[in-house]
A and B are shown apart, each in its own frame.
Chain A
Amino acid sequence: MIVAKRKPFDEILRMIESHRKVLVAGCGTCVAVCLAGGEKEVAVLAAEIDMARRLKHEPIELGQTTLERQCDREYLAQLDGRAEAYEAIVSLACGVGIQFLAERFPKIPVYPGVDTCGLAVNQDVGWYEERCRSCGRCVLDRTAGICPVTLCAKGLYNGPCGGTNRGSCEIDPEQPCAWYAIHERLKGQGRLDCIRAITPAQEWRDTVPRTLIQPGYRKPEKAKA
């Protein structure tokens, strides 16, 4: 899932310092699961903002809401006619949701309340580890299910580099060498031939915004509002 972490409170407070009526909008999907931007985190942030502003004798009127998802129009539509009552919105959704919300209400400043950190697995409550950079060209078939783009510090397709050190990466002894792990797992599966062939360099197509249309679907001639 997408993971994010709450921005420092001072940073959020500075963003909204000129506003007197602000909506705090959470997202009930990925950021709720990773404990950064769901209903509870919205309530905590709203309480923090309220207390800080009252203590500064600059009281603020706040709204709080958590949409099912901020990356779907049908849920954003629930704010139509209500968001306009606010001077600004602080969104606790991932970067995708924040942008889609800002696009829906172009006259209202939308501020990020979280830093989106990537696509990660849940190792334990509150502990997430990145596994995918959504590069658009998956090589996990050849790399024993271990992503070299994400887990190798250099993102090498044909590793390891000279810095591999008894299973660790040269950047940090605590950081496993992805290519050592790939080699060991492939060896265990008797599939070492998978990495004998050279994998060509990644195309830099991920530097432009990508659009995905699933098979059986097509892009509407004009996106519905």
Chain B
Amino acid sequence: MRLSYPANVKIVLVPCTGKVDVMHLLKAIQMGADGVYCVGCLEGACHYNQGNLRCRERVERVREILQEVGLEPDRVRMYNLSSGEAPTFVAYAREMTELIRRLGPNPLKNSQPAIRVEEAA
């Protein structure tokens, strides 16, 4: 179909959305990404039974965290589609892009975290 979707969307491939962790999403926002969304298979159609359902729960947890720290929860969202639905994929990419444009840039973009990992001696 050769459909095009907004160029600002960068794709990170995972074997299943069940692999997506709270920290993956949080880190993206922490480092200044304006928004992150997960696109999983349709609910009830996960090859691994619950991967997309686990992802949805993690997305919900990250949305709560964003609310707690003072950011808009809508910067992180979950979408579902089947692998044959290219037009839906494009529609979601456009919807998310428009949503993020309305929210504006991530205010964390202008500063960097100062976190040091203290390894066990």
Contact = CB atoms under 8 A, between A and B. Distances in A.
B109 to A, nearest CB: 10
B3 interface: no
B120 A44 contact: no
Contacts of B68: 9-10, 48, 52
Interface in A5-45: 9-10, 23, 40, 43-44
B98 to A, nearest CB: 24
- Chain B binding surface SS class: mixed
Nearest to B107: A55
Contacts of B111: 54, 59
A63 B118 contact: yes
Given A51-B30, A55-B108, A79 B69 contact: no
Contacts of A51: 29-30, 69-71, 108, 113
Contacts of B121: 77-78, 82
A56 B68 CA distance: 12
A67 to B, nearest CB: 6
Contacts of B29: 51
Given A40-B23, A55-B108, A59-B111, A67 B120 contact: yes
A49 to B, nearest CB: 8
A130 B111 CA distance: 44
Contacts of B71: 51, 55
- Max chain B Cβ within 10 angstroms of own Cβ: one of A23, A51, A63: A51
Contacts of B107: 55
A23 B115 CA distance: 9
A134 B69 CA distance: 37
Interface in B102-121: 107-108, 111, 113-121
Interface in B1-35: 21-23, 26-27, 29-30
B38 interface: no
Contacts of B108: 51, 54-55
Interface residues of B, number: 24
A220 to B, nearest CB: 24
Contacts of B115: 46-47, 50, 62-64
Given A48-B69, A55-B71, A55-B108, A63 B26 contact: no
Given A52-B70, A55-B71, A55-B108, A47 B23 contact: yes
Interface string A64-77: 11111000000101
Given A59-B111, A62-B114, 20 more contacts: A9-B68, A9-B69, A40-B21, A40-B22, A40-B23, A43-B23, A44-B23, A44-B65, A47-B23, A47-B27, A50-B113, A51-B30, A52-B69, A55-B107, A61-B114, A63-B115, A65-B118, A65-B120, A66-B120, A67-B120
3 closest A-B pairs by CB? A65-B118, A52-B69, A78-B121
Interface of B: 21-23, 26-27, 29-30, 65, 68-71, 107-108, 111, 113-121
